[in-house]
A = this chain, B = another copy of it.
């Protein structure tokens, strides 16, 4: 077996910074006095304290957090692991985490797995070697393996947006993908659609599966049979917008009048394809997304979507972490989403036509 150290590399030594020894020498005191003076220990004379603090500033002393972490057996650091920083979903979640972390005196460092399970393992390993006090993971690719990998781990791990914890040892905070997807499709059904499509992705297998399940359950509840031709999950690309774009044609040939997209990025790609093809949204096709990323309010037309409380997800995750670090055993949490109805969903065209035909006397609403 080869022990994997992960954070090693051959190279030459760096210039060494000024330490409390250097200060002690110049001040003619012992290092311990310097240490105490710098943190305002009461038993240090006011005179000495002042002299040392001034010296420290003059000499550009920067306390060495790694030495401190070694002795304290903690790093006041929490690591975040994202699939990619480029996902517009992540931004507010990280802000939520940082918001409470800073308050509590922790620093957060984010790393990415680049959507690669191997790298996710490597990153988790690295964070443990660096002795972060806790880890928050979003959109994991190997959650199922966590019990095996981290069962005996002392580093607490919180997972955001994972639905079914395979083990009690894991903690999570999530929105309920199945339920929120259900409500999105339900909205389409209420508008009168019955030919509703789903566009899914392959690089988020778990949540894709759950949102698809919510879609199915909603249709079944409305006694509409599932038509496989209406479920599109392109395999040839990881790019969500591209996925939306290339899914339009198959959806059209399957006769869809409305589409529930895995997320807003997919919806944006679909929107773009509609425009290029001369299809009017929502008149010719209703579209609903998921996430409510910032840009969703500024698409043309503005996107109807399911909002995930992203900031809150981050906040709650960090709060759970703090609780664990405090020796408590927090409950897992499901936070509710919210249907944000903007302008990409409407009654199906056939339905509108029917209504017009049945009420010929009432003046047509041009809006």
Contacts and interface: CB of A to CB of B under 8 A. Distances in A.
Interface stretch (A56-64, A191-199, A332-340): A56-64
A131 interface: yes
A133 interface: yes
A312 interface: no
A70 B70 contact: yes
Contacts of A299: 272, 299-300
Interface string A312-325: 00000000000001
A110 B85 contact: yes
Q: How many copies of the polypeptide does the oligomer hold?
A: 2
A275 B85 CA distance: 30
Contacts of A74: 11, 13-14
A5 B63 contact: yes
A22 interface: no
Given A1-B53, A110-B85, A300-B271, A73 B129 contact: no
Interface in A36-83: 38-40, 50, 53-54, 56-57, 60, 62-70, 72-77, 79
A11 B74 CA distance: 10
A109 B245 CA distance: 34
Contacts of A133: 14
A239 B90 CA distance: 17
A98 interface: yes
Interface string A7-47: 11101111111000000000000000000001110000000
A9 B104 contact: yes
A331 interface: no
Contact of A3 (B5, B38, B239): B38
Contacts of A302: 272
Nearest to A50: B1
B70 A95 contact: no
Contact of A86 (B54, B56, B67, B294): B294
Contact of A298 (B38, B84, B109, B241): B241
Nearest to A153: B60
Contact of A85 (B17, B90, B128): B90
Contacts of A64: 70, 129, 131
A229 interface: no
A215 to B, nearest CB: 23
A158 B85 CA distance: 20
A202 interface: no
B275 A129 contact: no
A114 interface: yes
**A-B complex: 5 closest residue pairs judged by Cβ atoms:** A86-B91, A9-B105, A109-B109, A65-B129, A272-B298
Given A86-B88, A86-B92, 5 more contacts: A8-B105, A14-B154, A15-B154, A85-B94, A107-B111
8 contacts: A1-B54, A7-B77, A9-B76, A9-B106, A11-B325, A15-B154, A65-B130, A66-B66
